[in-house]
Amino acid sequence: MVVTVSSIPQGTSSRKTENEDKISKMLKIKNNNGLTAFHEAIESGHNEIVLQMLKKVIDRVQLIEEPDQQLRTSLHMAAFKGNSVLLKEFLQYEVNVHACDVNDHTPLHEAARWSDSDEKENDHRNECIDLLIQKGAKINALNIRRESPLHVACRYGSSSLVKSLMKHGADILLTNIQNYNCLEGHYDPIIHTIDDDVTHYAFAVTDIINSQLIAQLYGFIILLDFTKCVQNIDVKFIFIINSRTSDD
């Protein structure tokens, strides 16, 4: 049967648009915690519901970028949960991968958080990092405490995420508001918080014992026993880290 324009019920298109507008408005309503139904579905891991909601609205970018009270967007929430399925879906649209919450955390900072409470959330965090970087996320973005995603990964003690971030060129020398880089300070040196494999990887990737890097890491000397943390290295090495002077 040939369908002509005249055979289509009048007002069908306008009713569809009207319904989509109503749905969009409903999905913007926030509860007492400042979360929309869309946010709640993401945080609860109801992927199918999230995808259905996304299909029901016209302006999908606006829905994804709608922030909660902490200015977290749906990208932040999906990354925080390590939900690569939703993150991949959201990144199909022209969404802002550099969006910052009230603490200047980007979605990449959230992806770098290792979950101690739910191991399933960690299964796809490396993929989340890869997806965000591919879409232009800044590997060395700094939050309100001047912490990079690598600082976050080191704090949570995740060797897997540290490797992933370093693979993408994360700078191990960036210092936070307390003037500590990711290898030192209240995080403890990376070799004490993360496994031996990462230590070996860090030195291999950054060529940390070359003279140029040591020149940048002058001032405070720590003696590290690498015989305990790196296989096949049978000597002690003086590792020089950030400047610490009596005038500080």
118: number of Cβ within 10 Å: 11
pLDDT digits (tens, 9 = 90+) for 36-78: 999 999 999 999 999 999 998 888 999 999 999 999 999 999 9
For the chain, list residues with pLDDT below 70.
1-18, 117-119, 184-248
Could you tell me the CATH superfamily of domain 14-138? Answer: Ankyrin repeat-containing domain (1.25.40.20)
Alpha carbon 80 to its chain's center: 7
Q: Which pLDDT score is estimated for 27?
A: 81
Q: Which pLDDT score is estimated for 77?
A: 98
Q: Which pLDDT score is estimated for 234?
A: 34
Domain ranges of the chain: 14-138
Q: Which pLDDT score is estimated for 16?
A: 60
Q: Which pLDDT score is estimated for 134?
A: 97
Which residues, in sequence order, are CB contacts of 106 under 8 Å at separation 6+? 76, 97, 98, 99, 100, 137, 138, 141, 143, 149
Q: Is 0.75 surpassed by the pTM of this model?
A: no
Question: Measured at the alpha carbon of residue 237, what is the angle toward residues 231 and 239, in degrees to the nearest 5?
Answer: 115
Q: Which pLDDT score is estimated for 13?
A: 56
Q: Which pLDDT score is estimated for 4?
A: 42
Q: Which pLDDT score is estimated for 237?
A: 35
